Amino acid sequence: MIWLFLAQATSKSPDEIEDIRPPILGPPAFWVVVLLAILLAFAILAYILWPNPKPRVVRPPLPKEIARSRLEKAKARISLASSYEFSVEVSDILRSFIEQQFGIKAVHQTTIEFLAEASQTSHFDLAHQEKLRHFLDSCDAIKFARVAAGQAESENLFEQASAFVEEVK
């Protein structure tokens, strides 16, 4: 075999240029690796450039905002609901607001228990305690003593509850 190669080499003239050899193809595993590297580069580039909106952080509504919205819904029903139903609803709104805002268990206590606990906290000054006592006494009179009340009394309860929610910090 070597003799054949030498014979061919000597048969060619020295001025003759050898023809271009075809490209040497590597093993197929090499091309698979190259293809995967290109795809990985495209994936990384797409991840970086693709718009990726951050999830919006939704903050929970504040107790004051919840009370305001519930009071506005209740205001729309002043003329439709009886004074009993309205006083129960407004009292529940105000008690829920106080429980959420200050952590005082107001919803499941009687008015006397609630006012005693509220007087021992620093959240309410004397003026707020008096307004709260007057509001709750009015609601209790309508709810438990079944005092006859009309739309004007319901509007007065609404105004008292709204003012209390806005004044308290």
In a domain, 82, yes or no: yes
User: Do the domain assignments include residue 109?
Assistant: yes
Number of structural domains (the chain) is 1
Would residue 71 count as lying in a domain? yes
Residue 97 placed within a domain: yes
Structure tokens at 3: 């003799």
Burial of 142 (0-12, 13-18, 19+ CB in 10 A): buried
How confident is the model at residue 62, as a pLDDT? 92
What's the pLDDT score for residue 91? 93
120 located within any domain? yes
For residue 142, what is the domain's CATH number? 1.20.120
Whether 16 maps to a domain, the answer reads: no
Tell me which residue has tokens 């009340």.
Answer: 149
Q: Is 148 part of any domain? A: yes
Would you state the pLDDT for residue 18? 76
Residue 14 is predicted with a pLDDT of 61
Residues 132/115, Cβ–Cβ less than 8 Å: yes
Mean pLDDT for back-to-back runs of 10 residues, the chain (169 residues): 62 70 76 90 90 84 94 90 90 92 86 87 86 91 84 90 89
- DSSP code string of 34-67: HHHHHHHHHHHHHHHHS--PPPPP-PPPPHHHHH
- Tokens 């990384």 — which residue? 44
Structural domain includes residue 37: no
Which structural domain, as residue segments, surrounds residue 82? 63-167
120, 118, 117: which is closest to 164 by C-alpha?
A: 118
The whole-angstrom separation of Cα 98 and Cα 118 is 10
Q: What pLDDT score does 7 carry? A: 62
The CA-atom distances, in angstroms, between 48 and each of 38, 55, 65, 146 are: 16, 17, 40, 69
